[in-house]
């Protein structure tokens, strides 16, 4: 890994998996830029870019068990990528965590060990 690249983690301190992911990065000698995405949600452009880096569609990064998912009818197949991303930006609680971003690459740290694939 190129050590000049910033490591960013979308983090929720209340989430055990997110805390484990952050700890894993620190144990590997990295000091990531921690973004508390519930307080500062990503923009639609940023989320779109990260989804592309993850190789995921919006629903794959959504917490489908989150009550908001059902409340807003987000399982509706008629909803397109733009609409789903807009829902995630407006309600960052829907975003699965932790997401670790290094340069043009990203990984969802579930399980947290998946983060190690970015470090090799």
Residues in the chain: 120
Q: Which helix (H) or strand (E) holds 107?
A: strand 105-108
In the chain, % helix, strand, coil (3-state, to 5) comes to 45, 15, 40
Give the active site residues: 15
109 near 99, Cβ under 8 Å? yes
Residue 101 φ then ψ, to 5°: -125, 130
Strands 99-102 and 105-108: antiparallel
């Amino acid at each position: 890994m190129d050590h000049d690249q910033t490591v960013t983690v979308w983090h929720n301190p209340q989430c055990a998996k997110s805390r484990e992911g952050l700890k894993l990065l620190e144990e590997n000698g990295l000091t990531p830029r921690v973004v508390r995405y519930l307080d500062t949600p990503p923009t639609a452009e940023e989320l779109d870019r990260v989804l592309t880096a993850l190789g995921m569609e919006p629903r794959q990064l959504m917490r489908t068990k989150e009550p908001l998912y059902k409340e807003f009818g987000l399982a509706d197949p008629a909803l397109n990528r733009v609409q789903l991303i807009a829902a995630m930006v407006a309600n960052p609680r829907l975003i699965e965590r932790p997401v670790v971003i290094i340069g043009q690459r990203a990984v969802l740290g579930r399980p947290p060990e998946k983060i190690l694939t970015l470090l090799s």
